[in-house]
Structure 1
Amino acid sequence: MTTLEGLEASGHLVRIHVPLDGGEQVWRRLFGTPDFVKWLDEDLPQLVTTVVGGEISPFEQIDARFHEYVIGEHIQDDRRFKGLSWTPEYHVWEFKTLDIRVFGWAPSRDCFICAFGDMKDRIELMNAYGRYIAQTVYVRDNLPLDPPKFVASKDYDDVLSNAK
């Protein structure tokens, strides 16, 4: 078993760095699996918004959401960051934008591991929420992370603190 830092050093996890503006500091940590980071770097930039009149690309949407997360802004639960309540025992959370859903979990307060991302419309069309939840749990269970591997709560304040 190992820590997040050990998993990062071994290549099991990749720290997701978000560009900060002057005066901003990292408040929360964000990691991704290597497969997620590959999707983030290669697939996400190619996606096009499906929102009628949408001017912000899916890449820009995720960049903004991750920026909010990292600097410790309050993230409106249910609208932008949500514990998936229909499977509460799995403690899988999702980042939400107009076009994208990112599935993962909180191994500790103010830390999130991203496992999968996809277009919201595709997930809904394929009825794939259950599949992504199951895959996220599988990845988490097979990651050699010291226990506890996740925060066993659906309470925002147990998973996130706010810088402001």
Structure 2
Amino acid sequence: MARSQTLSNQICKLQELSVPYGGEVGPRLQGGLRLNHNMQYIACYGRNFEEARFDRAEVDPPLKRGYWRHIWVTREFSEKFEQELTRLSVGDPDSVPPIEQIWARIRFFSDGRKMVYPYDLRNLRPIGEGIWELKTLDVRLFGWFPFKDCFVIHAMADANVLHDEKNSDLWKPYVDLVSAYIRELGIPALNPILGAETQNVLSNRPQ
């Protein structure tokens, strides 16, 4: 998947600055990384991310205000991304292509825009067992939050197929797929935050 960067690069930047764990060196660091908001999970779980071989999704052009939240993708998702894109349909012929929808949603999420369930269903929705669905017009991205403001994507689906939100059976295969992957990882520190309250998994950038 394009525009991704391994966590090890971010760790190197922190080590070069010799920033103590939990410390603050201002609101933003290189690449928009906010130490006072995100440093703890990087310092504590960096090795877990490297062991899991996650790639970080970084938007281009960069966010003017820096990253408030972060999206990562599993290596398996990254390797199948191009192939999965070809299977997506477009419900509205006048809408932008799915790939542009995905990057627009990643930008919206990473920028810390307000996302509150159940009032903001068009963006983010819990579907069971700590698995969440990040939504665009034509795409559904499935993943989990191992820690607050950090979403890991492992699967993708055509939203025009999953149009009946009242039928939970349509989502069950994706819940099972992501849950099985998390179990196979065998890294307890990366288990999902459980529950359906957005305040448990993400924060909104102060306006």
TM-score between the two structures when normalised by the length of structure 1 = 0.81
| Cα offsets for 1:51-81 (capped at 9, x unmatched) | 2333311111110111111111113531111
Question: For the residues of structure 1 that align with 2:130 and 2:61, how far apart are their CA atoms?
Answer: 29
AA matched with 2:159: K
Structure 1 runs not aligned, ≥5 long: none
8 Å contact from structure 2 (residues 91, 160) kept in 1: no
Match of 2:16 in 1: none
Q: Do the aligned partners of 1:68 and 1:75 also contact (CA within 8 Å) in 2?
A: no
- 134, 137, 158: which one aligns with 1:95: 134
Aligned 8 A contact 1:106 1:112 in 2: yes
Q: For residue 58 of structure 1, what is the aligned residue in structure 2? A: 98
Q: Amino acid of the residue matched to residue 105 of structure 2?
A: R
Aligned to 2:126: 83
Match of 1:105, SS state, is strand
Q: Distance in 2 between matches of 1:79 and 1:156?
A: 14
Is the Cα contact below 8 Å between 1:103 and 1:115 reproduced in 2? yes
Q: Distance in 1 between matches of 2:87 and 2:190?
A: 35
Amino acid at match of 2:123: R
CA contact (8 A) 1:49 1:56 kept: no
Contact 1:116–1:136 (CA under 8 A) maintained in structure 2: yes
Q: SS in structure 2 opposite 1:142?
A: helix
User: Greater CA radius of gyration, 1 or 2?
Assistant: 2
In 2: Cα distance, 1:95 partner to 1:73 partner: 13
The RMSD of aligned alpha carbons is 2.4
Q: Deviations for 1:18-68, whole angstroms, at most 9, x for unmatched residues?
A: 22446220111211111211233x135546652233331111111011111
Q: Quick one: which amino acid aligns to residue 80 of structure 1?
A: N
Q: Quick one: distance in 2 between partners of 1:136 and 1:7?
A: 17
Gaps of 5+ in 2: 1-43
- Which moved further from structure 2: 150-159 or 18-27? 18-27
Aligned residues: 156
| Cα pair 2:72 2:151 within 8 Å, conserved | yes
SS of the residue corresponding to residue 49 of structure 2 reads: helix
For residue 147 of structure 1, give the secondary structure of its aligned residue in structure 2.
helix
What is the aligned partner in structure 1 of residue 159 from structure 2? 120
**How many Å apart are 1:83 and its aligned residue?**
0.7
**Which shifted more, 132-141 or 5-14?**
5-14
| One-letter amino acid of the counterpart of residue 6, structure 1 | R
Report which stretch shifted further, 98-107 or 49-58: 49-58
The answer to whether 1:140 aligns with 2:169 is no
Distance 2:74 2:153 in 1: 6
Q: Which amino acid aligns with 1:68?
A: F
